[in-house]
Amino acid sequence: MRIYVSGSVAFDRIMSFPGKFSDHILPDKIHILNVCFLVNGLDERFGGTAGNIAYSLALLGEKPVIVSTGGKDFAPYAERLEGLGLSLEGIRRVEDEFTAGAYITTDQSDNQITGFNPGAMKHKAGYKPDPGADEALAIVSPGNLQDMLDYPAAYRKQGIPYIFDPGQNITALTGDQLLGAINGSRALVTNDYELQLIMNATGKTRDELLGLTEALVTTLGEQGSLVAEAGKETRIKPAKPKKVADPTGAGDAFRAGLIKGLCLGRGLADAALLGSTCAAYCVEKLGTQEHAFTQDQFWARHKENFSS
């Protein structure tokens, strides 16, 4: 199956704060917020929503097309993707910009504060999906804002099922824009906080959103996820990680497992279980693309977590 993953490719600069943000933020002084967090060093890693999803899909034996943009410093990322057997055909190079970069600080309660420089992501990818005779599936994840509006329309026109995953770009889109992208999607995938933001922005209830998309897939962190389809809801158990090193990227890993399940012809609830297993691998490592597994290892752990 041809898989299109649109969104960002970025370099992540990840910092860990050995304390809790809440101990240093005074609620009654939030209007004059001025804080400094002394972190335990910095790690630069490969990231971005599309890059993260594609990475885990590659581990799962898929070869998705990444639809994104890279900047003048993109060469190391390109080499990495090619090493994974992934095509660069969907990535536009913007030579007068830096590749997008995220600056992520995580505290001991797994809270995060992120600064993001869009760089090359300010430009549209300009890629035209053409599945030909192949079956296809797409996910539209946070990236260039115009791409997030254009690709849902293009996929609908081509009859390509797509997942809409607006994530951190929800607040950058209007309610009407969100509704336009959600309408006709195979699923709207968010966490519970993001779903509430969408309902606030659009004025729609969960049931009304389900009238626009086939399903709502809502991740709930360590509590698993919830799959809501017409007439039913299914609570999805979390897979148990061996340790929790960093929650960054777990949502993208979940989406990769979800897509893998759909590629295998599974229903959304079963596909979400694969997402849980993939997310568990991710949180065991610091960074969004540092986890690794063979397919045999993945299926053995999945069976261990969900065989009952």
- The catalytic residues are 252
**Could you give the residue ranges of the DSSP H alpha helices within the chain?**
49-59, 75-83, 145-158, 175-182, 192-202, 206-210, 250-263, 268-283, 295-306
Tokens of 256: 């990769």
Whether 27 and 118 have beta carbons less than 8 Å apart is answered as: no
Query: Exposure pattern of 17-28 as b/e (b: 16+ CB <10 Å)?
Result: beeebeeeeeee
Q: Is the dihedral of CA 108, 110, 116, 118 positive or negative?
A: positive
Across the beta sheet with 225-229, the strand order is: 91-93, 65-70, 2-6, 136-140, 162-164, 187-191, 215-219, 225-229, 232-236
Tokens of 23: 């101990």
Nearest residue to 212 (alpha-carbon basis) of 199, 221, 225: 199
Residue reference for tokens 């430009």: 123
**Can you name the residues that pair with 39 across neighbouring β-strands?**
none
Whether 218 and 192 have beta carbons less than 8 Å apart is answered as: yes
Tokens of 141: 């994840």
Residue reference for tokens 């505290």: 107
